[in-house]
Amino acid sequence: MRPMATPQRILITGVSSGLGFALVKALLARGAQVAGVARRPEGLSKLTALAPERFLAIEADVSRPAELAKAVSAAASRWNGLDAVVANAGIGIPATVDTMRMEDVRRVFDTNVCAAIETLLLALPHVRKSDAPLLAATTSLAGWRAGPGAAPYCASKAALSAFLDSLRAELHHEGIRVLDIAPGFVKSEMTARNAFAMPFLMETDAAAQKMASAILRRKSHVSFPWPMTSLAWLVRRLPDGVYDVLARRIAARLRRAGSLGVLKQD
């Protein structure tokens, strides 16, 4: 087993806003060298201004394999290797079974599952050479047990979490840590458009600090905020029949409120 060390050269996807943007800020504040991947240049410019000598801006779409491969290669070249990678890019498209479109389902899985897995696999050869190797991905408490109105998102996060479990077992003998980051509701552009109540909604910077600490400590799991984690833990352990009754009631309440599987209108 390798000795405990702190990752310093870190690649993060999905950094244009929200948790990814805040995570880069948190890691830069702790002295890390960070390569950030995003589709939109605005967020990248703001991050570059914070620490131009320690931040590498990479404009790329993670759902396009060629662009993603170039991004990982550019990051490894700039920092002469990688200690850690965080597959953070993700999207959510609320929908019910009656409004769901397969093109949206494919978009969610292409970004949240396929692109995340490809990010980890592309970075693995570089991470293997590090003294502080870490593969991490942002999943969600929504993947612990799915609720109504967001089936593709919940399913994609559950799939990614399961992939991390397998990876963790396979890479343990090499001393490579695999981190599953499972947030609850966190303030972001994505959650700002949710048309339903979000219990225990967490401030973005506070969530990013928890993520940064887990990455630098090379943990295997982190979830937050703790009240939502506790609730999700309990719900995951309910008998199937009991949970089905509760989920049906939640779906009925959201349907009456007109917020089942919909987003706020701008």
Query: Which residues are designated catalytic?
Result: 153
Tokens representing 68 are: 């993603």
- Torsion on CA atoms 36, 37, 39, 44, rounded to nearest 10: 10
- Please tell me whether residue 142 adopts helix, strand or coil conformation: helix
Q: Which residue stretches of the chain are H helix?
A: 18-29, 41-50, 65-78, 102-109, 116-127, 151-171, 189-192, 204-216, 226-236, 240-257
- Please tell me whether residue 8 adopts helix, strand or coil conformation: coil
The whole-angstrom separation of Cα 158 and Cα 59 is 28
- Please tell me whether residue 56 adopts helix, strand or coil conformation: strand
Q: Supply φ then ψ for residue 132, to 5 degrees.
A: -135, 60
For the chain, how far is it from start to end, CA to CA, in angstroms? 52
Is there a contact between 105 and 150 (Cβ–Cβ < 8 Å)? no
Q: Is 140 exposed, middle or buried (0-12, 13-18, 19+ CB in 10 A)?
A: buried
Q: CA nearest 27: which of 14, 41, 16, 11? A: 11
Is there a contact between 2 and 175 (Cβ–Cβ < 8 Å)? yes
Tokens representing 239 are: 């008998």
